Amino acid sequence: MRISARADYAVRAVVELAVRQGEGPVKAEAVATAQDIPHKFLEGILGDLRRGGVVDSRRGGGGGYRLAREAAEITVADVIRAVDGPIVSVRGERPTGLSYSGTAEPLLPLWIALRANVRRILEGVTIADLAAGALPEPVERLASEPAAWENP
């Protein structure tokens, strides 16, 4: 599984908005600068996040972006889906839409299990968690395993 640059930038931008939540709308330029994200690329991402119901925007001098809901109600999965679509796909299709026969039959439950585990992690971490710098204990435990940091 790969996390796209769009997804990475989107999560970083949403976390930046979360930590600035009390400041009112935040300009895209400020988010881009704080997170070292190319401004033009970020504008497209923020548009996707707005259409996905993750952020709201306001035009004008006092305008900018803010979270559309409380940070505790937005998961990392919500952000990724808003900019990239389904969390796990195989050849661009959702695993539940696939079928295999013969010796390849065990692949379908493998892809489904992979999707379930990825969703469990990404749906279990909120933007509030990230903004607070504290991941849920099961995620911390997985990340602390030495093998998690190895590149086979």
Domain ranges of the chain: 5-148
CB distance 37 to 17 below 8 Å: no
**Neighbouring C-beta atoms of residue 80, cutoff 10 Å:** 22
In this prediction, the residues of the chain whose per-residue pLDDT falls under 50 are none
Tokens representing residue 47 in the block: 């548009």
At 60, give phi and psi (nearest 5°): 100, 180
Q: What per-residue confidence (pLDDT) applies to 122? A: 96
In sign, the C-alpha dihedral spanning 56, 94, 9, 13 is positive
Q: What is the pLDDT of residue 126?
A: 98
Tell me, what's the pLDDT at 140?
94
The CATH number of 5-148 is 1.10.10.10
Give the pLDDT score at 88: 85
Question: Taking a C-beta distance cutoff of 8 angstroms, is the pair 126, 71 a contact?
Answer: yes
